[in-house]
């Protein structure tokens, strides 16, 4: 069986002080990297949402769609390269993968928009608190969708 080339995160685990986590990291690499990049994607999403909703006084549903675009682009790149290490090549295959990724994220955008509508627009909750709680739900759903439907051809090494 062919050995995969070490990525930057594999090399970081060789650093003094991080070696104690290497066994846990190797066993759970995909989930740990998904949580890392899911967290960073959440920061991108919440940061752009706050900029448009709070900073520019834009409607929360419109601000959320704009923040979604930024977050999904960031998430696709990081998920493809580091989390699922997708080796999809060829324009047609890559476009199909992108379409599945964005399609899955579009489905969870619908879930998120519903959460925001109900808890902000109807129940008048704090937009930033509701957005943060919604992100937890969305990160979990997005992992399941990406793992099962988008990057399903990834060979676990």
Domain positions in the chain? 11-150
What confidence score (pLDDT) does residue 89 get? 85
User: Mean pLDDT per segment of 10 residues, for the chain of length 157 residues?
Assistant: 74 91 92 92 93 94 93 95 90 94 95 94 94 90 91 56
Considering the entire predicted model, what is its pTM?
0.80
What confidence score (pLDDT) does residue 155 get? 44
73 token code pair: 């682009």
Can you tell me the distance from the alpha carbon of 20 to that of 23, in angstroms, rounded to the nearest whole number?
7
What confidence score (pLDDT) does residue 139 get? 87
Can you tell me the distance from the alpha carbon of 38 to that of 106, in angstroms, rounded to the nearest whole number?
16
- Interior CA angle at 20 toward 19 and 22, to 5°? 60
What does DSSP assign to residue 4? P
């Amino acid at each position: 069986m062919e050995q995969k080339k070490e990525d930057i995160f594999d090399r970081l685990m060789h650093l003094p002080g991080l070696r104690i986590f290497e066994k846990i990291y190797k066993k759970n690499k995909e989930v740990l990297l998904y949580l890392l990049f899911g967290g960073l994607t959440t920061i991108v999403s919440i940061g752009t949402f706050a900029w448009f909703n709070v900073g520019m006084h834009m409607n929360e549903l419109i601000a959320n769609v704009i923040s979604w675009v930024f977050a999904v682009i960031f998430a696709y790149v990081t998920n493809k390269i580091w989390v699922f290490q997708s080796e999809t090549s060829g324009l047609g295959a890559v476009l199909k993968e992108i379409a599945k990724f964005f399609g899955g994220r579009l489905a969870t955008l619908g879930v998120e928009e519903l959460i925001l509508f109900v808890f902000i627009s109807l129940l008048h909750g704090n937009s930033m608190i509701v957005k943060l709680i919604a992100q937890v739900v969305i990160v979990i759903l997005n992992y399941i969708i990406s793992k099962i439907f988008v990057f399903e051809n990834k060979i676990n090494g």
